[in-house]
Amino acid sequence: MAEITLVTATDPRRLLEAAADGFLSPLRASPDDPFPTPPYLLALRQGGIRENLVALTPQQTSLL
């Protein structure tokens, strides 16, 4: 059965980071899963939220 997670915050950036955490952190490959992918689908319409996610990605990956 599907699981729904509710995240609340007053900061839109924190909400976006919570929604996209599976895409912002690199996943490690293993012999059992050579091409790991996040366990969920993140659908964003074109526009501000999608562009904010694209802008957030280099900031997050530079922290690793």
Supply the DSSP symbol for 47.
T
**CA nearest neighbour of 23 among 43, 37, 9:** 37
Supply the DSSP symbol for 45.
-
**Is 60 a residue whose pLDDT tops 80?**
no
Q: Are 13 and 56 in contact (CB under 8 A)?
A: yes
Give this prediction's pTM.
Answer: 0.58
User: For residue range 6-50, what is the model confidence (pLDDT) as tens digits?
Assistant: 888 888 888 888 888 887 778 889 999 999 988 888 877 767 778
